């Protein structure tokens, strides 16, 4: 999966689940301050990403460090690279 495909898949999955505007989903936006997600949404976000990429990430310590959309893209790319 290319970097662009990862970005598109992440953004589409999150936009659908959290009813976000795709145009506002730039890598530097904060999930909490800009997109209005809360701690409970983080749990849902993990479920959505697991469904979109067919991997398990809920036990990963790095998930707690995610703050921006770009962090998610990087996290997913790293996870997919490690699995391949």
In this complex, which beta carbon is closest to another protein, that of residue 5 or of residue 38? 38
Residue placing its CB nearer to another protein in the complex, 17 or 74 = 17
CB 38, min distance to another protein, A: 7
Asked if 41 is part of the footprint of another protein (rule: CB under 8 A), the reply reads yes
Task: Output phi, psi for 19, to 5 deg.
Answer: 50, 50
67, 73 in Cβ contact below 8 A? no
Provide the token pair at 25. Answer: 């989903």
Distance of CA 72 to the CA centre of its chain: 4
Residues that bind another protein (CB under 8 A): 17-19, 38-41, 43-44, 47-48, 51
């Amino acid at each position: 999966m290319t970097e662009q495909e990862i970005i598109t898949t992440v953004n589409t999955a999150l936009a659908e689940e959290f009813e976000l505007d795709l145009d506002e989903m730039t890598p530097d936006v904060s999930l909490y301050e800009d997109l209005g997600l809360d701690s409970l949404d983080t749990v849902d976000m993990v479920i959505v990403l697991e469904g979109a990429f067919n991997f398990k990430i809920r036990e990963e310590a790095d998930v707690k460090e995610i703050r921006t959309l770009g962090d998610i893209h990087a996290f997913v790319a790293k996870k997919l690279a490690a699995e391949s």
